[in-house]
Chain A
Amino acid sequence: MSASDHTALRRLDATGLPLLLSRLVLGGMFIWLGASKISDPISFLKLIREYGLVPPDMSVVLNGMAVALPWLEIWCGVLLLLGVAIRGAGASTLLLLCIFSFAILLRALDIYATGGQSFCEIKFDCGCGAGEQFVCAKLPENLGLMLLSFVVLWSKSRRFCLASRLPKEPS
């Protein structure tokens, strides 16, 4: 990327619009997906168990994930929408999306290895909150959300953020 491109991107960032858009989409998605799981923790527990990532004798970890992950998603979403601690919230969403996507990919490859269908025909309820989805649609969706998390982390603008309106600590 040339220096002029970088300057143009920074100018665009200074408007605060890329960050605002990223916060709204990412925050809204995380709140929606988290809220859809909260009312039925048992269903979510069953779905995340399907990944087989937690050993059977570690039910505390599995149960803890089932009850805490949806609230964590909502918490990140609320922080992003409000514009408070957005660097931490953006890093958290990026980390979560990386873990979720990796788990989905592993499970899809596992199903693919059993044969019988092409990779893009693989469809299952990933426990993401939106029901059954095709892997070839879910993974790009997650990549898009990761990109938005990058924007949140990269942006230096704090326009439209509640944090910028809070009184600063005396230096």
Chain B
Amino acid sequence: MSPTLRSVFEMTLVLGTGLGVGLIMNAVSENGLDLQQDYFPGGTSRTASPAEVPPTPESDSSAAGSIDPELLNRLASKGLTAATFEEVVERFEDPMYAYEAYVFIDARDDDHYSQGHIPGAHQFDHYRADRYQEAMLQIIPTSMEIVVYCNGGDCEDSESAALFLLGLGADPERIRVFTGGITEWTERGMPLEQGARNSGVMLDKTP
């Protein structure tokens, strides 16, 4: 066998074995991914050109003043509606928030959630949807409105989580995506809760 042919043969073996090891390790790992799962429902990434998404619907005009129009278009293309910081605060301060008429969903992972989330927000890491699905199925029919958020900025997890909730039967008109996310929430001096939901442990913001 010529050296070149041997190299190609060995390379095929190495690649095949390596990929096989990866798939086996994924299957036995607790952190493994479900290969069949579409973790980015809606398809459109933030790098999509504006020409690929439909124009912003009239219903978004209230939020259009303070949210990037491109982001609004992207949400609209997925059938989602944005919520501004002011709208989110209004719901947070509403007495009905305590009764879960308004429900906040934190779409980030365990570490970020426990480091600090909007007080009373439920966690729904859609990459681990099976862990939270039961709780979400209880929330969806009883809440007046669901506000989903993640880090804000480039973060798309809130959109993906919102689409998962729609897939679980949520009414699209009752789901809002807080595009500013935890970043805007924190920057505007709003309170953060640490640890588990309703732990009562508030983040100490003193320097």
Binding site for B on A (CB under 8 A): 38-42, 45, 49-50, 52, 56-57, 59-60, 63-64, 66-76, 79, 85, 87-92, 95, 110, 153
Contact with A along B31-45 (1 / 0, CB 8 A): 111111111100111
Residues of the A chain whose Cβ atoms lie less than 8 Å from the Cβ of B7? 87-88, 90-91, 153
* From A88, A95, A110, residue with most partner B Cβ within 10 Å: A88
Question: Is B15 an interface residue, CB under 8 A from the partner?
Answer: yes
* From A40, A89, A92, A110, residue with most partner B Cβ within 10 Å: A92
The answer for the CA separation of A56 and B33 in the assembled complex, in Å, is 17
CB-based contact A68/B109 at 8 Å: no
* From B8, B9, B15, residue with most partner A Cβ within 10 Å: B15
Residues of the B chain whose Cβ atoms lie less than 8 Å from the Cβ of A66? 33
Question: Is B173 an interface residue, CB under 8 A from the partner?
Answer: no
User: Majority SS of interface residues in chain A?
Assistant: helix
The answer for the CA separation of A166 and B10 in the assembled complex, in Å, is 17
Question: Is B6 an interface residue, CB under 8 A from the partner?
Answer: yes
User: Majority SS of interface residues in chain B?
Assistant: helix
Binding site for A on B (CB under 8 A): 3, 6-15, 17-19, 21-23, 25-26, 31-40, 43-45, 47, 109, 127
The answer for the CA separation of A68 and B18 in the assembled complex, in Å, is 7
CB-based contact B47/A52 at 8 Å: yes
CB-based contact A59/B39 at 8 Å: yes
- Known A52-B45, A56-B40, A59-B37; contact A71-B21, beta-carbon cutoff 8 A: yes
Contact of B18 among A42, A72, A110 (CB under 8 A): A72
CB-based contact A71/B8 at 8 Å: no
CB-based contact A68/B10 at 8 Å: no
CB-based contact B47/A50 at 8 Å: yes
Whole-angstrom distance between the Cβ of B31 and the nearest chain A Cβ: 6
